[in-house]
Homo-oligomer: A and B are copies of this chain.
Amino acid sequence: MRIALAQLNYHIGDFENNVARICKTISDARKKQADLVIFSELSVCGYPPRDFLEFNDFIQKSRAAVENIALECQGISAIVGAPSVNHGPKGKPLFNSAFFLADGKIRNIVHKSLLPNYDIFDEYRYFEPNHLPYCLLEYKKYRFAVTICEDLWNISDDPLYIRNPMDEISPLNPDFVINIAASPFHYDQQEIRKKILVRNAMKYKVPFFYVNHVGGQTELLFDGGSMVVDAEGDICNEMKYFEEDLQVFNLNDFLYKKGNAGPVVTRKTGKIGLIHDALVMGIREYFMKMGFKKAILGLSGGIDSAVTLVLAAQALGSDNVKAILLPSRFSSDHSIRDAEDLARNVHVPYEIIPIESAFKTFEEILSPQFKGLPFNLTEENMQARIRAVILMALSNKFGYILLNTSNKSEAAVGYGTLYGDMCGGLSVLGDLYKTQVYDLANYINREQEIIPINSIVKPPSAELRTNQKDSDSLPDYNILDKILYAYIEQHKGPADLVKDGFDETLVNRVLKMVNTTEYKRYQTPPILRVSPKAFGMGRRMPIVAKYLS
């Protein structure tokens, strides 16, 4: 028996296109003598479909799509993922299901038992967990089990769920186990995912065929990395990352001995390289799936907009990116020079549009109200918002999409201007702390100086008042980022942080900044997610609250 793993990129709700891709792939797999081709979780409708699942029309279209795909399964079988209707008298209206298709028909439907409902996941919002006992499917004399993503993940010492599907499947003695997944990327996720698969294979002594999504779904990045793990827990085949892939395996190679059917991909890049590749894919995917071609951004000469520009150029091509320098009376000469150097280095066209006349006009307009009052944060914010007006005007007139250049440190402490530098259709660096942005800049420069070294070494500044430095308002990023990581990613409280050696006054100040600026993050553009805890759907905080604030 030959098994194909089809690691494809789907467009949420685009049934026509998704079905066409799946059918084409079934046909390709058939040509490669595959007997069974496996697609990922909710492949038919795309993942995550979110509240589209509450529309009967969506569910019906999804079912019709599955039936169309089944027609393609002649002389070959397939497994696809789609929602299915709960016809029982009780429980949520849907299941998250795997459909086994053969001989032109839906032969079996298996439901997901463990529904992730944490971080960015909301599956219990829509789906009833499987309550049925597991049974094996059969094809060409082989007996196998089908599991869906989280079904394999309850293997830790502190299990999140009461049930563990593999404990029920294992006694049935399957020849192999399939897992169809939609497991989004973060910088540690590949290692975690591999460990989970290996741990299952070693514990249950059965080979696993694992198929993951690939591609971007707004903020969620799916990195692929589908794999086969043999019954001894060795990863025999690791498929491509951040790209579609189709590979066909001989089941026999994995049944009785350590498999060795294909090359194990060795990741050439470390954590920061992974982040880089994920972000480039994320930008490209957002634009492609939204039907956009061109990006615009404000280039300040600072590190954040520099890194964003390079990633955008790599994702979309230099010709499709436009940089705008928007100097004010507080911009330094070196900032403009650094920005121009960068634009030239990456061959991105740029224009300089000074904002002084607009700033003066607003000062005049507001002079009756502001008379006698000192220049303060208001005027700083005003400059940022004037820039936004200009960038959005160019965006509207020429169809550019504005890229947001804020980083996670700024977003965390509210060091940014709502409707100013916090604008944009997509936040590229919003899940990277400032110190990680530097790491990424150095990674980009690993072979040659693309980002001017001056943008990397100079003290960060918003340049919204004379001689302003970030360090006037914020602790040193090396300390700030450590506190933020401990609080946001690790959920440590103030007592833990003090125990870790951070200054108590500083800790309280930082946590208060985070917790009182939730209202700003609520209006932030979607942020490409590369960490285990990004701002956005995965971190849901009350705005009105009084906790550590």
| Contact in complex: B491, A55 (CB < 8 Å) | yes
| Contact in complex: A12, B118 (CB < 8 Å) | no
CB-defined contacts of A158 to chain B, threshold 8 Å = 89
CB-defined contacts of A56 to chain B, threshold 8 Å = 491, 493
| Contact in complex: B397, A369 (CB < 8 Å) | yes
| Contact in complex: B52, A545 (CB < 8 Å) | yes
Q: A50 and B541 in contact (CB under 8 A), knowing A522-B526, A546-B13?
A: yes
Of residues 147 through 204 on chain A, the ones whose CB sits less than 8 Å from some CB of chain B are 158-162
Q: Which residue of B lies closest to A401 (CB)?
A: B519
| Contact in complex: B377, A396 (CB < 8 Å) | yes
Of residues 348 through 397 on chain A, the ones whose CB sits less than 8 Å from some CB of chain B are 351, 353, 355, 357-358, 361-362, 364-366, 369-370, 373, 376-378, 381-382, 385-386, 388-390, 392-394, 396-397
CB-defined contacts of A541 to chain B, threshold 8 Å = 50-52
| Contact in complex: B51, A91 (CB < 8 Å) | no
Q: Which residue of B lies closest to A285 (CB)?
A: B544
| Contact in complex: A48, B542 (CB < 8 Å) | yes
Q: How far is the CB of A512 from chain B (nearest CB, A)?
A: 12
Q: Is A281 an interface residue (CB 8 A)?
A: no
Q: A547 and B52 in contact (CB under 8 A), knowing A393-B381, A540-B122?
A: yes
Q: Which residue of B lies closest to A216 (CB)?
A: B544
Contact of A370 among B11, B122, B397, B544 (CB under 8 A): B397
Q: Is A543 an interface residue (CB 8 A)?
A: yes
Complex Cα distance, B392 from A386, in Å, reads: 12
Binary interface profile of A, 214-249, with partner B (CB < 8 Å = 1, else 0)? Answer: 001110000000000000000000000000000000
Of residues 388 through 418 on chain A, the ones whose CB sits less than 8 Å from some CB of chain B are 388-390, 392-394, 396-397, 418
Q: A13 and B542 in contact (CB under 8 A), knowing A159-B89, A396-B378?
A: yes
| Contact in complex: A545, B385 (CB < 8 Å) | no
Complex Cα distance, B13 from A548, in Å, reads: 8
Q: Is A286 an interface residue (CB 8 A)?
A: yes
Complex Cα distance, B217 from A46, in Å, reads: 34
| Contact in complex: A361, B357 (CB < 8 Å) | yes
Q: Is A32 an interface residue (CB 8 A)?
A: no
Number of copies: 2
Q: How far is the CB of A101 from chain B (nearest CB, A)?
A: 23
| Contact in complex: B377, A351 (CB < 8 Å) | no
Q: A57 and B496 in contact (CB under 8 A), knowing A392-B381, A397-B378, A419-B392?
A: yes
Q: Is A539 an interface residue (CB 8 A)?
A: yes
| Contact in complex: B545, A11 (CB < 8 Å) | yes
Q: How far is the CB of A91 from chain B (nearest CB, A)?
A: 6
| Contact in complex: B362, A390 (CB < 8 Å) | yes
CB-defined contacts of A382 to chain B, threshold 8 Å = 389, 392-393
Q: A14 and B546 in contact (CB under 8 A), knowing A358-B365, A365-B390, A382-B389?
A: yes
Q: Which residue of B lies closest to A522 (CB)?
A: B526
CB-defined contacts of A467 to chain B, threshold 8 Å = none
CB-defined contacts of A57 to chain B, threshold 8 Å = 492-496, 548
CB-defined contacts of A351 to chain B, threshold 8 Å = 369
Contact of A52 among B390, B496, B542 (CB under 8 A): B542
Complex Cα distance, B366 from A206, in Å, reads: 66
Q: Which of A52, A58, A419, A537 has the most CB of B within 10 A?
A: A419
CB-defined contacts of A273 to chain B, threshold 8 Å = none
Of residues 1 through 44 on chain A, the ones whose CB sits less than 8 Å from some CB of chain B are 11-14, 17
Q: Is A477 an interface residue (CB 8 A)?
A: no
| Contact in complex: B419, A17 (CB < 8 Å) | no
Q: How far is the CB of A425 from chain B (nearest CB, A)?
A: 6
Q: How far is the CB of A338 from chain B (nearest CB, A)?
A: 23
Residues of chain A having any CB pair with chain B under 8 Å: 11-14, 17, 46, 48-52, 54-58, 60, 89-92, 117-118, 122, 124-125, 131, 158-162, 216-218, 285-286, 289-290, 351, 353, 355, 357-358, 361-362, 364-366, 369-370, 373, 376-378, 381-382, 385-386, 388-390, 392-394, 396-397, 418-419, 423, 425, 491-496, 519, 522-526, 537, 539-549
What would 29 A/B residue contacts be, using CB atoms closer than 8 Å? A11-B544, A12-B546, A12-B547, A13-B546, A14-B546, A51-B539, A51-B540, A55-B491, A56-B493, A57-B493, A57-B548, A58-B493, A60-B493, A89-B159, A90-B161, A92-B160, A117-B117, A122-B540, A218-B543, A285-B544, A353-B365, A353-B366, A365-B390, A366-B393, A369-B394, A376-B397, A378-B393, A388-B419, A522-B525
Extra contacts, 6 of them, besides A60-B493, A357-B361 (Cβ < 8 A), are: A57-B493, A217-B542, A290-B544, A353-B366, A362-B393, A385-B388
List the 6 closest A-B pairs by CB distance, nearest first: A57-B493, A13-B547, A14-B546, A378-B396, A12-B545, A361-B361
